[in-house]
Amino acid sequence: MINKDLSVEFLGVHFENPFCLSSSPVGNCYDMCKKAYDTGWGGVVFKTIGPKHFLIDEVSPRFDALTKEGTPFVGFKNMEQIAEHPLEENLADVKRLKEEYPNKVLIASIMGTNEEDWTELARLVEEAGADMIEMNLSCPQMTSHAMGSDVGSNPDLCRKYCAAVKRGSKLPMIAKMTPNIMDMVPVAKACLEGGADGISCINTIKSVVNVDLDRKIGLPIINGKSSISGYSGKAVKPVALRFIQQLRMGEGLHDLAISGIGGIETWEDAAEFILLGATTLQVTTAIMQYGYRVVEDMKNGLMHYMEEQGVDRLQDLVGLANANIIPAEELDRDYIVYPEINYDVCINCGRCYVSCYDGAHQAMEWDKENRKVRCNKEKCVGCHLCALVCPVKAISKGEVVLKPGRPGNPADKKV
Amino acid sequence: MTKKYAEEIEQAYTVITVMEEAQRCLLCHDAPCSESCPAGTDPGKFIRSVRFRNFKGAAETIRENNALGGICARVCPTERYCQKACSRCGIDRPIDIGGIQRFVTDFEARANMHILRKGEAIGKKIAVVGSGPSGLQAAASLLQMGYEVDIYDKNAKAGGYLRYGIPQYRLPNEVVDKEIEHIAELGAQFKLGVTVGKDVTMDELKAKYDAVLLAIGFSAPKVLPMFEGSEIVETAVSFLARVKESKGEVELPQNIVVIGGGDVAMDVVTTLKVLGVKNVTDVVYEEFHEFLASKKELRGAQELGVTIIDGYIPAEFADHTVTFKHRHIDSVLKIKTDKVILAVGQKAEAENLGVELVKNEVTFDGYKTPDAKVFVTGDIAHGDKTVVYAVRKGKEAAAAIHESLGGNK
Ligand SMILES: Cc1cc2nc3c(=O)[nH]c(=O)nc-3n(C[C@H](O)[C@H](O)[C@H](O)COP(=O)(O)OP(=O)(O)OC[C@H]3O[C@@H](n4cnc5c(N)ncnc54)[C@H](O)[C@@H]3O)c2cc1C
Ligand SMILES: Cc1cc2nc3c(=O)[nH]c(=O)nc-3n(C[C@H](O)[C@H](O)[C@H](O)COP(=O)(O)O)c2cc1C
Ligand code: SF4
């Protein structure tokens, strides 16, 4: 079995591997975190701890899932707020976990309603032994507008609360961002100004996932009604990656310390977050669906990936893809790459023909008698929709041709 | 014709189709498939790795648990082991565990992975007699523990029935070669063309090695007395070996009678049909309701047009004609034929090896013989006579040797 060092340093804290539970029910109590550590997770972001005076009162049921064909969770919707357990119990769990697992990382997620709350919670979790603090500025379904994503979309409040946390504790601190916003950079910058050391990104996306067609109510139904609330899981990965990329591209933020969150399920997802600049990774939905064991293949697969890449330190992969994502106006628009059909692989289903006709440029021609497709280059624009719908991957990138009058050499294009 | 023989019958999964099949897996807790694999290959774990797109990790799980993982993927009677236990049976049909395992081990070969690691040398040496699946697995386990291992076989090439029995269209020799190569890479030395008990004695081996492991299998065919010495009679295993060695390039008459109704007989009749023989008549002692061959193999043979006649015993053989009598009713069957192939079982040949066999098996459970230096494994040890059991026994025999020689002390 391959064995490579997956450890990373993140804001001065040593993680034996970058994989952490994100703050949610998967890290809700001592027993759960213990099992997660034992299964091989490098760290835990404990379920968000709120102030004593804020009473948590949850709905039932509180989840829903978007499905597609045979896939049970394309995305996942939840209506949970923050930790249901009493403050003292949470602090006792944090303390006990840190005593029993000194080498694993424990990050306390906190959320206050005003500056005093934030300062006091920060003080309490440091006292309990946490290694790091995560500020939850991003839960989209809080019952108070002084909490959650309403705060996280307001830079001034973020700056103020970050400073409040820093007054309460000297621990490294990351601020957790909401994706329910156009531009995350001003908020992240405000957090850094307030004293945050890094950013975690993203929390859940506001959503309505399904509607009951007979009762005409969104799901899940709570006494005949539902609410807009947070969406997570595989479906949100592209949104999370986009925000991380935008953060790293922000002025002065190219070295920003990021904990990546949103739809991580496989080692490939994990590697993508790392290549876009995340040093640590957090997971909830995949664990809710499959259990803590998913970390086994994430770790092992990532080790094999490092081996293939000839990399001995995981940290060397952080941010390697940032420079390869550029503004649309800077992309090379001088050439077309035509699809190439491998007829040995083609099973003559005609799916590329259908999609090219109805969704592209009518360039695939269908020989009805022989059930054979042919690409007419006169019409083809090189969009490669055909390759994406081909069920046997028979279509690849073929001939490269410069558009009329454009400079350059087709052989130099990195298609 | 030979092309058909040389190509694997079962179609392999692609990356896309294997993900579809892996997605059918329920990812059971305490996976019953894993608990039912005799060799401990842990399908629950490797299917999960496939589901989470970690093909290399899946390959590690298979190879470390089962040094013949690519072979088992193809020849295991999974319907009797892992797939029988699969929870998905309660919904529709079990996961195609063998197929997924084949995808993963093929992937391993394509990625040129070398997963097994030689153990740190402990300065002890073991002789393994027989290079069938059990001897090979035992060698792999011992090498990983740091033993030196020499493997003796009377045949010119290693593999036992993997190479000389199971037909190419079910188990290509290239797959056998590849798995043996992995074991050779760990440092196994092959001494081929050497019959222990004849070319070298047990006493010589015992003097030279710290332990001797007998993995001799059932290497001799059984022959019914009335067929002895006839030129048109051949035994199943000699026929199958001849065809496989020549990659299907053999001359055969158009009218052949096969006697026997087990899986070996099914391999013979299927091979004959695949090679284009016109009339293949299989006469079987058992009646259909008590048939020994797996239903799948039987169906396969029937679909190829083999004539199967059940319930008859050969009574007389003269002049190219075999006379059969029914076991229960008054019925006589005479078949004139160009060739007779006998698939009536195989037996162990243990001359001068110093072990007592009753009905081709040792008389005790486990792997230690009364002679403290001698161990047994494979088909001659108690337990199922299948490749995957041979692997299990190989692992267990290696552990028994290790324990007898003082373990890690
Ligand atoms: C035609 C056929 C098809 C089969 N199909 C399947 C199948 O699909 N699935 C399945 O699970 N099982 C199948 N089996 C059964 C399976 O092959 C055996 O259970 C398995 O090979 C037993 O392994 P083994 O290591 O004990 O011995 P073997 O594979 O029999 O190997 C024993 C080796 O020992 C060598 N040997 C013997 N005596 C000596 C000596 N004195 N000196 C040196 N070498 C010696 C032999 O040359 C041979 O190479 C099949 C068997 C046959 C014959
Ligand atoms: C049921 C549920 C409860 C959550 N509770 C919290 C929380 O208390 N605090 C927090 O910061 N994020 C919370 N989240 C958001 C997750 O930590 C995470 O940011 C998000 O689910 C995206 O990651 P994923 O796709 O791996 O689930 C919750 C998510 C879910 C699904
Ligand atoms: S028993 Fe079947 S469904 Fe369950 S883990 Fe094994 S292969 Fe998957």
pLDDT score of A83: 84
Chain A residue with the nearest C-alpha to that of B46 = A297
Q: Whose CA is nearest to atom 13 of ligand 2?
A: A24
Q: What is the pLDDT of residues B236-292, one digit of tens each?
A: 999 999 999 999 999 999 999 999 999 999 999 999 999 999 999 999 999 989 888
Both A281 and A397 in one domain: the answer is no
B27 and A290 in contact by Cβ < 8 A? yes
The mean pLDDT value for B388-392 works out to 98
Both A284 and A188 in one domain: the answer is yes
The token pair at B16 is: 């896309």
Both B203 and B265 in one domain: the answer is no
Pick the ligand that lies closest to the CA of residue B350.
1
pLDDT score of B4: 85
Q: Whose CA is nearest to atom 2 of ligand 3?
A: B86
Distance from CA of B162 to the nearest CA of A (A): 27
- Chain A positions contacting chain B at CB under 8 Å are 1-2, 70-71, 265-268, 290-291, 293-294, 296-298, 300-301, 304, 391-393
Q: B168: Cβ below 6 Å to ligand 1?
A: no
Q: How many residues does chain A have?
A: 415
Q: Which of B161, B180, B295 to mutate to test the pocket of ligand 1 (most atoms within 8 A of CB)?
A: B161
pLDDT score of A250: 97
pLDDT score of A15: 98
Both B341 and B361 in one domain: the answer is no
Both A252 and A312 in one domain: the answer is yes
Q: Is A139 among the catalytic positions?
A: yes
Both B245 and B355 in one domain: the answer is no
A1 and B64 in contact by Cβ < 8 A? yes
Angle formed at CA B179 by CA B173 and CA B181, multiple of 5 degrees: 100
What CA–CA distances, in Å, run from A286 to A38, A152, B23? Answer: 18, 25, 15
What letter does residue B291 receive in the DSSP assignment?
-
**For position A90, which CATH number holds?**
3.20.20.70
Q: Which of A139, A158, A162, A390 is catalytic?
A: A139
**pLDDT above 70 covers what percent of chain B?**
99
pLDDT at B408 over 80: no
What CA–CA distances, in Å, run from B191 to B3, B145, B162, B394? Answer: 32, 21, 18, 19
ipTM for the complex? Answer: 0.88
Is-contact A247 A184, C-beta < 8 A? yes
Q: Whose CA is nearest to atom 6 of ligand 2?
A: A24
Pick B54's closest partner by Cβ from A293, A300, A393: A300
B53, B77, B110 — which closes off a domain? B110
In a domain, B311, yes or no: yes
Task: Find where tokens 């014709």 sit.
Answer: B1
A252 SS3 class: coil
pLDDT score of B291: 86
- Give the CA count within 13 Å in the CB-facing half-sphere of B58: 28
Q: How far away, in angstroms, is B36 Cα from ligand 3 center?
A: 11
Both B68 and B91 in one domain: the answer is yes
The token pair at A195 is: 């004293």
B297, B327, B345 — which closes off a domain? B345
Domain of residue B159 covers 125-219+348-404
Collect all residues of chain A within an 8 Å Cβ-Cβ radius of residue B27: 290
Task: Find where tokens 């797939």 sit.
Answer: B83
Both A229 and A346 in one domain: the answer is no
In a domain, A302, yes or no: yes
Both B197 and B81 in one domain: the answer is no
Using a CB–CB cutoff of 8 Å, tell me whether B54 touches chain A: yes
More confident residue, B43 or A56: B43
Pick the ligand that lies closest to the CA of residue B357.
1
Domain of residue A180 covers 8-324
Q: How far away, in angstroms, is B165 Cα from ligand 1 center?
A: 8
**For position B232, which CATH number holds?**
3.50.50.60
Interatomic CA distance for residues A269 and A277, integer angstroms: 13
Residue A353 neighbours by CB under 8 Å, 6+ apart: A364, A365, A366, A373
The mean pLDDT value for B195-218 works out to 98
Collect all residues of chain A within an 8 Å Cβ-Cβ radius of residue B23: 70-71
In a domain, A84, yes or no: yes
A324, A357, A389 — which closes off a domain? A324
Q: What is the pLDDT of residues B295-323, one digit of tens each?
A: 888 999 999 999 999 999 999 999 899 99
Using a CB–CB cutoff of 8 Å, tell me whether B144 touches chain A: no
Both A271 and A408 in one domain: the answer is no
Q: What is the pLDDT of residues B115-138, one digit of tens each?
A: 999 999 999 999 999 999 999 999
Both B308 and B370 in one domain: the answer is no
Both B105 and B28 in one domain: the answer is yes
Cβ-based burial of B257 (10 A; exposed 0-12, middle 13-18, buried ≥19): buried
A300 and B60 in contact by Cβ < 8 A? yes
Chain A residue with the nearest C-alpha to that of B15 = A392
Residue B47 neighbours by CB under 8 Å, 6+ apart: B22, B25, B27, B33, B58, B95, B97, B100
B110, B141, B174 — which closes off a domain? B110
DSSP per residue, B367-383 = SB-SSTTEEE-GGGSSS
A324, A345, A380 — which closes off a domain? A324
In a domain, B115, yes or no: no
pLDDT at B1 over 60: no
pTM exceeds 0.95: no
B160 Ramachandran zone, left/alpha/beta (phi>0; psi -120 to 50): left
A301 and B20 in contact by Cβ < 8 A? no
Q: How far away, in angstroms, is B139 Cα from ligand 1 center?
A: 15
Pick the ligand that lies closest to the CA of residue B28.
3
Both A126 and A166 in one domain: the answer is yes
Q: How far away, in angstroms, is B346 Cα from ligand 1 center?
A: 10
The token pair at A345 is: 């692989």
In a domain, B409, yes or no: no
Distance from CA of B396 to the nearest CA of A (A): 21
- What DSSP element (H or E) covers A163? helix A155-168
Q: B167: Cβ below 6 Å to ligand 1?
A: no
B206 SS3 class: helix
Both B225 and B335 in one domain: the answer is yes
What CA–CA distances, in Å, run from B133 to B185, B228, B262? Answer: 17, 30, 20
Domain count, chain B: 3
**pLDDT above 90 covers what percent of chain B?**
94
Which of the four pLDDT bands, split at 50, 70 and 90, describes residue B407? confident
pLDDT score of A84: 85
Interatomic CA distance for residues B387 and B393, integer angstroms: 10
Both B43 and B55 in one domain: the answer is yes
Using a CB–CB cutoff of 8 Å, tell me whether B198 touches chain A: no
In a domain, A3, yes or no: no
Query: Would you give the distance in Å from CA A300 to the centre of its chain?
Result: 20
Collect all residues of chain B within an 8 Å Cβ-Cβ radius of residue A295: none
Domain count, chain A: 2
Which of the four pLDDT bands, split at 50, 70 and 90, describes residue B409? low
Both B376 and B339 in one domain: the answer is no
In a domain, B120, yes or no: no
Mean pLDDT by 10 residues, chain A (415 residues): 97 98 97 98 97 90 93 94 91 98 98 96 98 95 87 95 98 98 97 98 97 97 97 98 98 97 98 98 98 98 98 98 97 98 95 97 96 96 97 96 96 96
**For position B7, which CATH number holds?**
1.10.1060.10
Question: Residue A119 CB: number of other CB atoms within 10 A?
Answer: 19
Both B315 and B246 in one domain: the answer is yes
Using a CB–CB cutoff of 8 Å, tell me whether B336 touches chain A: no
A13 SS3 class: strand
Which of the four pLDDT bands, split at 50, 70 and 90, describes residue B2? low
pLDDT score of B190: 98
Pick the ligand that lies closest to the CA of residue B166.
1
**For position A382, which CATH number holds?**
3.30.70.20
A268, A290, A324 — which closes off a domain? A324
Both A260 and A373 in one domain: the answer is no
Q: Where are the beta strands (DSSP E) in B222-318?
A: 233-235, 255-259, 279-284, 307-310, 312-318
How many residue contacts between A and B have a Cβ separation below 8 Å? 50
B163 SS3 class: helix
> Which of B144, B131, B152 lies closest to B201, judged by CA?
B152
A253 Ramachandran zone, left/alpha/beta (phi>0; psi -120 to 50): alpha
Q: Which of B234, B387, B389 to mutate to test the pocket of ligand 1 (most atoms within 8 A of CB)?
A: B387
